[in-house]
Each structure stands twice: as C-alpha cells, then as structure tokens.
Amino acid sequence: MGLRWLVVLLVAAALVGAPFALAARPVPDAPRDPVALARLVRTSASWGWSGTVRTSGALQVPESESFATLGQLLGEDNQLRVWWRGPQEWRVDRLRSTGETDLFRSRGLQVRWVFESDTATVSPVSRIRLPDAADLLPATLARSLLQGVRDDELSRLPAARVAGVAAPGLRVSPDDPAASVDHVDVWVEPSTGLPLRVELYGADDPRPVLTTVVTDLDLDPPDSSTTVFRPAASTTLTYEDAVDAASAANALAPYDLPATLAGLPARGEDPAAVGIYGRGPTALLALPLRGQVARPLRERLEASGGARTTAVGTIAPVGPVSLLVTPGRFGRGAFLLAGTVTPEALERAATELAAVTR
C-alpha cells in the first residue's frame, strides 16, 4: 500500500474515531426527571437551530416506485444539513456522493429540488404524507415518538456527549400489546429540550435498527433567507397537487376510515382516506392503493424473505416494521398497512378494514 493511501486511511480513521473519543470523556450527569424532560422535548419544535445530522438505518423496505425514498431513508446511511426556524419553516438537504436533494418548507408550500436533474417540485403542505428526510431529524423523530406516551412508559438514562453537549437521556418503553418496538432512547440538549440523538430498538435487537444524531449544532436561529428556495435560471419548475402517494390517496380515495383500527386510536384528527393510528413508538399507517401500485408492491413482498400470504393479505416483517398489502376487492384497489406493530396487529387491522370498506 502506497504512502498516499496510508495517509487517507489514517485521516478517515481519525474522522470516524473522533465522535467516539468525545463520547468517552466523562459526561456531567445531573439527575433529570424523565417526565419533565419529555415535556421539554414536546415543546421544543419552535426552537431555531442549524447543523448537520447523520442517520443510519437497517430496515430493508421492499423497493417500490411509489415509496422509493423510504428505502433510502430507513435502510441506508444519510448525511443531512439542516436549517430549522420552526415547524413550518425549515430546510433539510440530503447529501449524496452524486449530489443532493433539498427540501424547503415555507409559507404553506414544500419544494423538493434535485441537484442532478436541476428540477424543483412545488407541492402544498399535507398533514398526511409519507416520511421524508425532515422526519428523520432527531428533534422531529423524538417529538413524534413521544406523542401520547404515558408517564409510566418513561425512564431516565445516563447522560451522553452529543455534538459537544452533555445531553441527559430518556428512554421510552411502550406498554402496548400491538407494539413491536422494544424501546427508544433519546438524548436531549438540556436548556432547549432539543433532541440530539435518537436510537430505536426492536424486540431482542442488541443494536438500534434506526439511529439519528446531530453531529454539529448551532443554537442560534438561522436567517430567514436560508429556508427560501431561489431557483436558478436553468432550474425546471413543476407543480404537483400532492406531495406523494399518501397525500394523493387521502385526497382522492372514496371513503373515510374508522376512528380506531386494531385497537389503536387515530392520531390527530379523525382519519379520512388515509389513517395513522397508535401512540408513541407504536404507529400504524393505513394507505389505499390503486391496483397498478398494489400489484407490484405485493409481488415485492412475496419475493422478500419471511413474507407469507394469509386470507387478509401478503405480510412481511422488516425488523420492528411490518408491512401488509390486502387483496384488491370489487375493483376498489387494496390497502397497504405498515407500521411499528406486530404482524398480528396488522392482520387484525386488515380484517377490520375489509368490513368497513366494502
């Protein structure tokens, strides 16, 4: 091996080892009440910040054209650059070796710009949509995972050093028979409540199946100019009424879903055509699919390891996430049921949906 490659490897090792060296230093660990810490996290959305985030996922979601980004977000390593002014005004860039994809949220609109093609897609903000890069930030993910969590499901963890901050820790252990997540660990910036690191563990998993961590942090609110998309003269601009398949289905499907599914309550408002159910780390998505989307997705599930076909659909576990595609009935398409619930909960949900959408 030449000297040049030896230098490269040493530099790479130093860069990779630096965060662990920092984490190994003694961390001040003043006792923090986990309930009070969770309350602080829930109120942190309006705190402006900027920085970089690293995510690492081990969830191999079956490939599908309509859900392509999900596999990249949940099953790969991602580097993100963030400017956060508030829940309705932010920018998140997902950096890749070939370029980047930037998401902008401002004034009720979302813009997705792809560097390689120099195209920007403008869509209205939708309450119902598939996860995007912004949902994998430690702050947004932790707030979502804490939604509806009871006090008795919270416990304290030792502090850890994250992005140079001595961050107190919090564990969420869901107490729900439908839950497939064993626990979620969160470390928090103590003065603002901003989550800096989140680790999600499935049952019997010695390592997290999903980790997201702030690697560089600036707690000064970013300037408003950072979250506004300004296209170059060469950029191709397009407009879409729906940001993704879930948003489109919610607007166009011909029925409303029940207020509870598989014993799980709907999150937020009563569901329309797309339902999100559960609380805390236990979440279930019910998404209607057109036949041309359902068929190839069902085939992908059938080809994946561990998949099985039942009377209510084809089901495949992906770590703590389970997916089920129901059979199409009476020309009305099918449903994708997915979430951090047990396969048994998905089958129960599919049975209930078959009864209410006939």
Q: Going from the N-terminus, what domains does the chain have, and what CATH number goes with each?
A: 17-227 (2.50.20.10), 253-356 (3.30.200)
Computed over its alpha carbons, how large is the radius of gyration of the chain?
21
Q: Does position 226 have pLDDT exceeding 60, yes or no?
A: yes
What value does the mean pLDDT take over residues 38-49? 97
What value does the mean pLDDT take over residues 294-299? 82
- What is the number of other CB atoms lying within 10 angstroms of the CB of residue 14? 10
Say what percent of the chain tops pLDDT 70: 80
pLDDT band at 26 (very low <50, low <70, confident <90, very high): low
Q: Does position 137 have pLDDT exceeding 50, yes or no?
A: yes
Contact of 94 with 77, CB cutoff 8 Å: no
Contact of 259 with 266, CB cutoff 8 Å: yes
Q: What is the pLDDT of residue 269?
A: 65
Q: What is the pLDDT of residue 176?
A: 95
Q: Does position 247 have pLDDT exceeding 60, yes or no?
A: no
Q: Does position 250 have pLDDT exceeding 60, yes or no?
A: no
Strand partners, 266: 277
Is 297 or 280 the better-scoring residue by pLDDT? 280
Q: Does position 282 have pLDDT exceeding 90, yes or no?
A: yes
Please enumerate in sequence order all residues whose Cβ is within 8 A of that of 238, keeping only pairs 6 or more positions apart, or say none: 119, 120, 121, 122
| 75-115 pLDDT per residue, tens | 688 999 999 999 999 999 999 888 999 999 998 899 999 99
Burial class (CB in 10 A: 0-12, 13-18, 19+), 331: exposed
Rounded distance between C-alpha atoms, residue 345 and residue 178, angstroms: 6
Pinpoint the alpha helices (H) of 236-317: 245-252, 291-303
Place of tokens 């603002």: 192
Rounded distance between C-alpha atoms, residue 131 and residue 147, angstroms: 16
Name the average pLDDT for the chain: 84
Give the Cα-Cα-Cα angle 73, 75, 76 (nearest 5 degrees). 75
What value does the mean pLDDT take over residues 147-158? 97
pLDDT band at 11 (very low <50, low <70, confident <90, very high): very low
Contact of 74 with 62, CB cutoff 8 Å: no
pLDDT band at 7 (very low <50, low <70, confident <90, very high): very low
Q: Which of 5-14, 71-80, 205-214, 338-347 has the lowest mean pLDDT?
A: 5-14
Contact of 133 with 92, CB cutoff 8 Å: yes
Copy the structure tokens of residue 49: 């910040």
Q: What is the pLDDT of residue 265?
A: 93
Q: What is the pLDDT of residue 57?
A: 87
Give the sign of the dihedral formed by CA 68, CA 74, CA 79, CA 80. Answer: positive
Q: What is the pLDDT of residue 291?
A: 72
Q: Which of 23-37, 243-257, 322-336 has the lowest mean pLDDT?
A: 243-257
Give the sign of the dihedral formed by CA 71, CA 336, CA 279, CA 266. Answer: positive
Pinpoint the alpha helices (H) of the chain: 3-24, 34-42, 68-75, 138-145, 245-252, 291-303, 343-356
pLDDT band at 317 (very low <50, low <70, confident <90, very high): confident
